[in-house]
Structure 1
């Protein structure tokens, strides 16, 4: 549990650092914003699935502004923090059923879903950093070791 909790502390820290960087950019980069909103929408979908609720009407990709991203980041942080606070170690092996965006049903353990969400966001934050660098903007240091220091 400790490792997963730490991963989510890092996820929230990294999301806030990306958010601050996007907010500081003079010209809104739609590509960067779209990737960041994808991370946040995916987090919302997965927390909905972890709560064993229907996520089929939630978007996975959507063109939104920075205000929507800010609200989503804060909501997701609160949702995952609450979920993890109530989670028992034995709950990690619980199998949940859900349908993907195409309607295909899958079953996964809570542990695997939580791990996926953390890794998915880190992958796309790397893509965001790549796009920032291409525009001459200093990439955001999101390394886990930087976070824990």
Structure 2
């Protein structure tokens, strides 16, 4: 389980890093794409904090300067790897409060998978936004990453 989760988070890191590099090279990042990428960063941060039972450093809606994306992304990755490395029971239930203030509990493995899947979903939206804006997106499919 640990090895597979490390692979998924490596893939997630790779894809987000590619998008950060691409956006940093643009004169102007499409607004919707920037909002979505900030959401990816903030949600990953929020889930890491929920897992370890600590308050978040910023809200889900926070807009970061593009110059800070790489540092936030790196810290998200480091925190997730630390969680995975130090976990012995991935079926452990994590109690947390949603952004709407409702209380839930899910197994750690499901939350970790959700982080990666959620990021993939929003990266797809970013790539679609790029196309609409006439920007040819790079393929970020998992199988291409594994080749």
Give the TM-score category using the shorter length: over 0.9
3-state SS in 2 of match to 1:93 = coil
Any idea what the Cα deviations from partners look like across 1:75-125, whole Å, max 9, x if unmatched? 11111122222222xx11000100011111000000110111110000000
Map of 1:72 onto structure 2: 72
3-state SS in 1 of match to 2:105 = strand
TM-score for both structures, normalised by structure 1: 0.92
Structure 1: gaps (5+ residues): none
3-state SS in 1 of match to 2:90 = helix
Mapped partners of 2:109, 2:77: distance in 1 = 18
TM-score for both structures, normalised by structure 2: 0.93
Aligned-residue Cα RMSD (Å) equals 1.3
Matches within 5 A, 1:1-149: 1=1, 2-55=3-56, 58-88=58-88, 91-149=89-147
Are the aligned partners of 1:92 and 1:111 in contact in 2 as well (CA < 8 Å)? Answer: yes
Are the aligned partners of 1:41 and 1:59 in contact in 2 as well (CA < 8 Å)? Answer: yes
